[in-house]
Structures are given as structure tokens and as C-alpha cells.
Amino acid sequence: MAANSRLHRFIMVFDREGSNSSLLQPLWEKRIGAITYRKNVKDVWPAQEFLPTKIIMPDGSHSTLKLASRETPLTKKGTFMVKEVRCLTNSNHQTAIISTAHELDLVIIAGRMFSRWCQENFFAYMMQHYDIDGLVQYGTEDIPGTLQVVNPAWRQLDKAVSRTRQQLHRLQATLGAFPAVMDGATIQKHAETLETSQAVQADLDALKIQRKRTAR
């Protein structure tokens, strides 16, 4: 860091309420970089400066945006410079982002700023539906390094056993509903149902054996 005066320790990403030199400059004096929106943008950059650029979000998703970047003075005297990245939308609106982390390229700056929306939406959802801002206290809890879970192969076999057992019960109920005295057609139907029931019973027995041999 002594050799590179533009290198940051880490980066903070926040909304435009913090986009002023009274915050960004003291942070940078401690080599803490920042990414935020620029307030009160009045100038317009030429459209030809914006180039289609592939953005990779922190979650790995991809997006293509029209981006341009410049070095911009944040103070009237021009003594404090920031890296400004602008995104040109389909409606020709220019969204301005500024960063004190000059070593970052425009792809990283835009990706980090726009991915903040996901975090903001998450907290808004959690506050609305889970009252996360109403928690009495915050804390940590130790969890074991190893947790036992059900073997997916055993679970599939267990579900197959349940389905086959239900099928067998339906067939047995059908057999029990046949009358004691049957004509030729009914005898044939009874025989077919009995044969199917025996086949399902064999399937059930085989599944039980396979499940027993599979670690749970």
C-alpha cells in the first residue's frame, strides 16, 4: 500500500446519502474505498462514450450494460478525485456511480453497485414479512462441524415403499369387495386383480430389501 497510493484496504457500498467529500475523503485517508451513487448529476455525457459491457454480478449472473467512465473531481477545488462510472439505460437516462477505489475497473464498480439492489430488496422483504428490525437482540450460536442428514438414495426408496404399499392396500380393498358367489366375468376380473396384487406384493418386498441394504 505504501508503494501504490491508489490501493484500497476494502470497499464499502452504500446509497447516495453518503456521496459527499465530507464522508468519502476521511474514509479514503484510512484507505477505505467506497462505491455509491452520485447526487445532483446535471451534465450529460455523449452517447458515443458508452460501450456495451458484460457485467458479472457477485452471484455469478451476467448482464450487458452500456457503460462509460471518467476521473471526476468531487470538490469544487478539484483536489479530491473519484472514478465516475455511468450506465446508459434504454430510455437514455444516465445513472452515475462514483468510487474512491480507483484500482477497480468499471465492470467491478457497476456490478457491486447494482447488486446492492438485491441486498436492499432482501432486507425490505425481511422487515415486512419477518419483522427483522424488531428483533430484541442479535447474537451467535455455535453449530456442530458435522451434521447427519438422510441419505437421498434411502429417502427415494422409502418413498417408493410408501407408494407401493398404498397401491397394494387399494388392490386388497378391491379384492375384499368381490362377492362370495361370482359369475364367469367376475371370476376373471378377480383373478386379474389377485395376480396384480401378488405382483405388487413382490415389488414391495423387493423394495423393502433394497431399502434395508441402503444406509439411512
**Helices 152-176, 184-212: inter-axial angle, 10-degree rounding:** 160
- Residue 13 CB partners (closer than 8 Å, separation 6+): 34, 35, 36, 112, 113, 116
pLDDT digits (tens, 9 = 90+) for 9-63: 999 999 888 888 999 999 999 999 999 999 888 899 999 999 999 987 777 778 8
Residues 181, 184, 190, 191, CA torsion sign: positive
Burial class (CB in 10 A: 0-12, 13-18, 19+), 131: exposed
Query: 10-118, which class in CATH?
Result: alpha beta
Identify the H or E element spanning 57: none
Q: In this structure, what C-alpha cell is assigned to residue 120?
A: 436492499
Round to whole Å and give the CA distance between 73 and 98.
Answer: 10
- Count other C-beta atoms under 10 Å from residue 44's C-beta: 10
Residues of the chain with confidence (pLDDT) below 50: none
Residue that the C-alpha cell 405388487 belongs to:
200
Round to whole Å and give the CA distance between 212 and 154.
Answer: 9
Q: Could you tell me which of 17, 82, 86, 74 has the C-alpha nearest to residue 48?
A: 86
DSSP helix/strand/coil, 168: helix
Round to whole Å and give the CA distance between 96 and 214.
Answer: 59
pTM value is: 0.56
